[in-house]
Amino acid sequence: MFKNKYEFIEALTETARSVCGKEYEECSPEDKYYALARVIAAEAGDIHAACLKKEKAKEKKKVYYFSMEFLIGKLLENYLMNLGLTDMVRDALKMMGEDLESFYALEQDPGLGNGGLGRLAACFADSLASLDYAACGQGIRYRFGLFKQRIENGVQVEDPDNWLENGYPWETRHPEDSVIVRFGGSVERQYGEDGPRFRWNEAERIVAMPYDVPIVGYGGETVNTLRLWSAEPCEENFDMDAFNRGDYAGAIKHRADVEAITSILYPNDSASPGKVLRLKQEYMFVCAGLADIIKNFKRDHADDWDRFPELVAIHTNDTHPALCAPELLRVLIDEEGLDWDQAWSIVTRSVSYTNHTILPEASETWPIDTFRALLPRVYDFVEEIDRRYRESFPKTFDRWQDLLRSTAILWDGQVRMANLSVIASHSVNGVAELHTEILKNSVLKGFYTLTPEKFNNKTNGIAHRRFLAQANPSYRELITEAIGDGWLRNASQLVWLKETAKDPAFLEKAAASKRTNKVNLARYIRETTGIEADPDSIFDVQVKRFHGYKRQLLNIFKVMDLYNHILEDENFTMHPSTFIFSGKAAQGYDFAKDVIRLIHGVADVVNSDPKVKDRIRVVFIPNFSVSNAQLIYPAADISEQISTAGMEASGTGNMKFMMNGAVTLGTLDGANVEISEQVGMDNIKIFGLRSEEVDRFRQDGSYLSWDTYSNDPRLKKVVDQLVDGTYARLSGGFNLIYDSLMRNNDEFFVLKDFSSYTGAWNELEALYQNKETWGKMSVYNTACSGFFSSDRTIEEYASDIWDLKK
């Protein structure tokens, strides 16, 4: 660690010379940022090297956390805080005529994820390091991430997110740890003195190249690694004949095909080429990650395989890394010479699985023909796992044939990855109490009947140091002044704020902090959208991935209804309100993209109508990311968590809003259930159908959207406005949304919950006007949010699933 700012300045100037080949003063702002990041990354690397020595000396168990997404966000500010270097670096840069905040602004968000799964993985990585656990994230280094969202005439446009264009200073390439990954070909049976052996004669070989990003824990005592894998060709295979005949694209086709594997997060897999690409992605980072794990284990413990589960925990998130089990079996049997029983015992004691959502896309299935053609030797192991599972299946259960049908891996021409994940894991967990109960009673009911001991709940959490301490500095200082800084290490201490919620002076300061954050967000909204947002209005916020079940449609229906009320009743009064939306819709999800278009259509009409008199503003913040989220969460008054009950596994945005003092308006879904338990029903507003009611309507078919529409004049008018041209000025009508509600019977119960939802919002709007009452509710939400720190979640994983020691 730097002893003083002069040592830091010396390191920075020397690094600048190596980065841009000239003196620091002559470097561009971008090169200066790059040099600063490299200095901090090098410091983190030194700490990590010391951690590895301690880990090896003490033989500590290590968890390898496999996830397709790691939405780590910007790192400079976070790492300076965690290392305790912020003030020193700020002072040193000031001596050099620089402003630290300008360096923060130069950093880009890395395109390594999209939504909750990726941000959760990043929060867990932060907590693992901050709690001094040995861990390594295993993910993919996407060249273009998902996409950059741009809005054109109210329509989402997807641009490439070329976040690596100018390099990424936090990563270090490690060619010495690269791994050969094989695809296609055939499997050859060979016979020797020890019996049959199998040789995979692949048709294609690629290189998985690792790039390491340091994960700095709070306090700077532990630095773990996020290892990201990038696909590269083994050899150039430049086609000179194709080049000479003018087929320049064909000449480099091999390189382009290989690099496509890690170009885009979640390529469209509706057609066969997309399916093959997705499966290549998933196998590449599993194969490479496991090869890395095994190499490290053998280096330290040779062939003492019985110790593998004692020292290695492999955690899989959703079904994207489900191939960990058959691939580990393949390596242990084909390459290390273990027999099946020993290898299977190692696999099932090492691998654990988290189900993050009940949506079908998270429970992947692959056509057997596609899987077998691309991964023939891996398929052999999947087939053998399935055969042995069927052979040993207990036939003592009533209707055991139905149980087998629902739990077998291979069925109806498909490889069912969720079933593979459960069968091969020693632990299966959901991510909120309600979600876990749904897994046990519905989605994975057959498995829970057979092996209830595997199932447990681990309610999600968030990195409170990033999303409260870093994102909300004025509130952080106020909290620390009231209860000390111990909450940065132990978020449960936030409960001490309950007493301060009774202090008028503290409430006044908290309100001032909130307004400061609203001013900051209003400035960002003006700069990015041109819309003026009044910081004295209610900031009603819904930011998340666009999906039918998340019901951004219900939210904009509320706005349309309020607008109608203003036009119809000149005596109608309401507190001025700014309705803020942000989030991306998947490229091929037309319904979600149409909801974004509707929000812009409503904004186009409402924001320009002088009759509204600034009582309503509608804002869509484009290209939602970790960076703008850290502006949004601290500024929110109302947190919209309005998913269809029983469909949101957990949610983490709800926790980030709560921690920053927003009051939740939501259904009893996901972690909203636990939030309501923590804060009490007086400090949250719950509305709408319960999950059991949703299930009943779906099972008996008694809900008819047409009846609900016909019996509510306000709702009927809102729905009719989808197709009568009211909001069509910007980009046309909304027949697709109308048909989803009226012809397809409102799959997500938007119409059914409309009356309850608008009534609940009206109650919150009335409460907001009592500043003392609202201030107490706001601070009380923060006071009760410590439970939702990812530190608490990781401690539960470490003790209950991974058996880690600090």
What per-residue confidence (pLDDT) applies to 190?
Answer: 84
Element holding 685 (H helix, E strand): strand 685-686
The pLDDT-based confidence of 242 (bands split at 50, 70, 90) is: low
The closest alpha carbon to 154, from 470, 674, 468, 598, belongs to 598
What per-residue confidence (pLDDT) applies to 246?
Answer: 75
The closest alpha carbon to 522, from 532, 510, 513, belongs to 532
Q: Is the pLDDT of residue 504 over 90?
A: yes
pTM of the model as a whole: 0.96
Active site residues: 356, 544-545, 550, 652, 656
Q: Which of 199-213, 233-247, 267-281, 521-535 has the lowest mean pLDDT?
A: 233-247
What per-residue confidence (pLDDT) applies to 52?
Answer: 87
What are the helix and strand counts (H, E) for the chain?
35, 23
Tokens 């940065």 locate to: 488
Q: Is the pLDDT of residue 140 over 80?
A: yes
Q: Are strands 195-201 and 186-192 parallel, antiparallel or unpaired?
A: antiparallel
Amino acid occupying residue 391: E
How many residues are listed for the chain in this entry?
806
Tokens 């080949």 locate to: 21
Q: Tell me the HSE value of 56 on the side-chain side, using a 13 A CA sphere.
A: 12
Q: Is the pLDDT of residue 56 over 80?
A: no
What is the Cα–Cα distance from 616 to 747, expressed in whole angstroms? 29
- Compute φ and ψ for 195, nearest 5 degrees: 100, -170
Q: Is the pLDDT of residue 588 over 80?
A: yes
- For residue range 348-359, what is the model confidence (pLDDT) as tens digits? 999 999 999 888
DSSP state of 145: -
What is the Cα–Cα distance from 71 to 96, expressed in whole angstroms? 33
Q: Is the pLDDT of residue 238 over 70?
A: no
Q: Is the pLDDT of residue 214 over 90?
A: yes
End-to-end CA distance of the chain: 22
The closest alpha carbon to 517, from 485, 482, 473, belongs to 473
If you average pLDDT over residues 301-325, what whole number do you get? 97
What is the Cα–Cα distance from 726 to 733, expressed in whole angstroms? 8
Q: What is Dmax (Cα atoms) for the chain? A: 93
Q: Tell me the HSE value of 607 on the side-chain side, using a 13 A CA sphere.
A: 20
Please classify residue 590 by burial: count the beta carbons closer than 10 Å to its beta carbon, then call 0-12 exposed, 13-18 middle and 19+ buried.
Answer: exposed
CB 169 within 8 A of CB 34: yes
What per-residue confidence (pLDDT) applies to 110?
Answer: 96
User: What does 153-209 look like in DSSP terms, one character per residue?
Assistant: TTEEEEE---TTTT--TT-EE-GGG-EEEEESSEEEEEEETTEEEEEEE-SEEEEEE
- For residue range 695-752, what is the model confidence (pLDDT) as tens digits? 999 999 999 999 999 999 999 999 999 999 999 999 999 999 999 999 999 999 999 9
Helices (H), 21-153: 29-58, 76-83, 86-95, 100-106, 116-130
Structure tokens belonging to residue 429: 């967990």
The pLDDT-based confidence of 362 (bands split at 50, 70, 90) is: low
Q: Is the pLDDT of residue 361 over 80?
A: no
What percent of the chain has a predicted confidence (pLDDT) above 70? Answer: 98
The pLDDT-based confidence of 31 (bands split at 50, 70, 90) is: very high
- For residue range 659-695, what is the model confidence (pLDDT) as tens digits? 999 999 999 999 999 999 999 999 999 999 999 999 9
- For residue range 281-299, what is the model confidence (pLDDT) as tens digits? 999 999 999 999 999 999 9
Sign of CA dihedral 103, 108, 109, 110: negative
The pLDDT-based confidence of 240 (bands split at 50, 70, 90) is: low
- For residue range 57-102, what is the model confidence (pLDDT) as tens digits? 778 899 999 999 999 999 999 999 999 999 999 999 999 999 999 9
Mean pLDDT of the chain: 95
CB 405 within 8 A of CB 411: yes
